[in-house]
Structure 1
Amino acid sequence: MKRLFFLMLILPFAAVAQEGGTRFEQHLSWAQAKEKAKKENKYLFVDCFTTWCGPCKQMKNEVFPQPKVGDFFNKNFVNIEVQMDKTAKDNAEVKAFYADAASIAEKYKVKAYPTYLIFSPDGELVHQFVGSRRADDFIAVANKAFKPETQYITLLKKYAAGEKDPAFLRAFTAGAADAGDDGTRDKVVAEYLASQKDLYTKENLEFLGSFITSSKSKGFEAILKNPDKVDAILGKGKASNMLTPVIMNEEVYNLANSKAEINVDELEAKTKLKYPSVDLAKSFALFRVQWYQYYKKDWPAFQTAALSYMRTYGNDVDVNTLNNLAFTVFKNCHDPACVAEALNWSKRSVEDTKSGVPSFIDTYANLLHKAGKTEEAIQWEEKAINLAPEAEKVNYRNVLDKMKKAEKTW
């Protein structure tokens, strides 16, 4: 069953690989994993997670099970998961890895979760990156591990040795951002910008757009002062797209996360007055959905906001958002017309992932059931059960039992 937009549940250590998804080697010690990678001449991929990590669960449920992710990682890596914290519920396999997990955390400075470490077949750390990602981006970042010019650890060593070529600094900045090394990233961005005589080139503007971290950064100021010039070089609306994330974070989400009471209409008007040249309409439309969904739990207002957002911007929504909005409608909204629209969102998420993510299929099945299409719902829930990890099958079976008894699942 579905899952919050940003916060997910915990990730079990010995996950059973889903058919078509990423295959994690179970029962291997750290030494055995390295030995296996060397013997098979494969890189070693290490997923470092904790049981309290929300993004870890998101990756577990919605990214690692996807066939295209499995195809890439199973072909190129020996894959293992390492639980980095300790809990009273840890099984024998997790406990046996305690010492190695602590050693990995200390030696490779693992502080954020999830952190992904990639070792060459010879056991040398060559690449690392952090955080939850969409499937295609996840594959692209992991793919950097195979080339010295894109391996973060290799770039880090060159930078420490004094490499300052602008082209190198650009590549290194991207690696530092992927690795969650914000201090190094900001330092290198400043060094690169200082080396440039003209910031308003296509290459430099694209670079700035990738690494704007606050409204006080040089890149933010450069784009805000000359949005027409930026759009002329990069395309209509690009200036607003680059500035919007920082503006929304500083002016809106920081306030919302402080648990302050917000009048969304007034906040939108105030923010637009401060940044009149920036198109904030889409971002505020999404914030309205999130405000009523997560902060207020006002389901009638959520329904209105979600329908408005999807009718206006739905063509550009990613599969995770489709699934999360659809499931929220299933759980909390009872207007048949709204359920029907959410059913279409959910169907898109299933189709776009080629029916490979059980949680997405479960959402779709539940919406079919709520819409009165129970026979079809049962067929889809059975598909979710077949794809789900063994530890999660019981949850789907409970849903299926209710469907077969014509009971509510919401």
Structure 2
Amino acid sequence: MKHAFFVLILFIAGSVSAQEINWMTFEEALAAQQKKPKKIFMDVYTVWCGPCKLLDKNTFSNKDLAAYVNKHFYPVKFNGEGNEELNYQGKKFGNPRFDPKRKGRNGVHDLTVYLQVNAYPTMVFFDEKGQTLMPVRGYLTPDKLEVFLKFFKNDDHKKIRTQQDFDAYQKNFKYEFKI
């Protein structure tokens, strides 16, 4: 009996210390914005994408990054080739080319095309009103993603006009997430 109690305590302690991103659907995030305005952070992935899986394993599992995303964004996990139907900006989006029998690559979701996502993974940032700010393509380590998370959260994107401005922003950036 003592052994089972000890295992239970270890399980609870491990659960408390682990930090995960609290993913939601895009429609849930848009609805949440109506009650409490916050930016949206969307991970556009596919089930066959190796770098997408690495992003989940190595980047989104970082406890500092996960805590920051949960606090400052509505995090959305969106399958760029899935069959979810949703409404955005008064339009209906789906995936008429989706084949449930298909393994690997599938038809591209209409929202993926609308957001101009053409590579996986792509992380798309939206403002507090659900308007697209910018997509960020490719696999990023926690520190590389930290730059973009804070860039958009702090509205620094409104101050940057050129690539040279952004390069200087990155060079002077103070990293805080523990790697």
Could you tell me the TM-score, scaled by structure 1's length?
A: 0.30
Change (3 A) 1:109 1:23: same
Alignment of 1:67-86 (within 5 A): 67-86=63-82
Q: In structure 1, the residue corresponding to 2:116 is in which secondary structure?
A: coil
Is 1:126 the counterpart of 2:133? The answer is yes
Q: Which runs of 5+ in 1 are unaligned?
A: 1-17, 87-93, 159-167, 175-202, 207-351, 354-410
Relative to its length, the structure with more strand (as a share) is 2
Alignment of 1:9-28 (within 5 A): 19-25=18-24, 28=25
Q: In structure 2, the residue corresponding to 1:150 is in which secondary structure?
A: helix
**Aligned partners of 1:108 and 1:32: how far apart in 2?**
18
Aligned partners of 2:72 and 2:153 also within 8 Å: no
What is the one-letter code of the residue matched to 1:58?
Answer: L
Is 1:102 the counterpart of 2:97? The answer is no
The superposition leaves residues 83-105 of structure 1 with CA deviations (integer Å, 9 ceiling, x where unpaired) of 1125xxxxxxx544671772322
Aligned partners of 1:21 and 1:68 also within 8 Å: no
Give, in angstroms, the shift of residue 22 of structure 1.
1.6
Alignment of 1:134-213 (within 5 A): 134-150=141-157, 168-171=162-165, 174=167
Give, in angstroms, the shift of residue 108 of structure 1.
1.7
**Aligned partners of 1:147 and 1:67: how far apart in 2?**
20
Relative to its length, the structure with more helix (as a share) is 1
Of 53, 61, 64, the match for 1:65? 61
Give, in angstroms, the shift of residue 72 of structure 1.
0.7
Q: Percent identity?
A: 19
**Aligned partners of 1:103 and 1:119: how far apart in 2?**
18
**Aligned partners of 2:113 and 2:19: how far apart in 1?**
34
**Aligned partners of 1:69 and 1:149: how far apart in 2?**
18
What is the one-letter code of the residue matched to 1:24?
Answer: W
Larger Cα-atom Rg:
1
What is the one-letter code of the residue matched to 1:142?
Answer: L
What is the one-letter code of the residue matched to 1:111?
Answer: N
Change (3 A) 1:171 1:128: farther
Change (3 A) 1:56 1:147: same
Q: How many residue pairs end up in the alignment?
A: 137
**Aligned partners of 1:149 and 1:129: how far apart in 2?**
15
Q: Hey, what does 1:41 align to over in structure 2?
A: 37
The superposition leaves residues 182-206 of structure 1 with CA deviations (integer Å, 9 ceiling, x where unpaired) of xxxxxxxxxxxxxxxxxxxxx8xx8
Give, in angstroms, the shift of residue 107 of structure 1.
1.9
| Larger relative contact order, structure 1 or 2 (CA cutoff 8 Å, min sep 6) | 2
Could you tell me the TM-score, scaled by structure 2's length?
A: 0.64
**Aligned partners of 1:80 and 1:169: how far apart in 2?**
28
**Cα RMSD after superposing both structures:** 2.9
Q: Which runs of 5+ in 2 are unaligned?
A: 1-16, 87-92, 96-107, 172-177
Give, in angstroms, the shift of residue 150 of structure 1.
2.3
Change (3 A) 1:141 1:110: same
Alignment of 1:193-342 (within 5 A): none
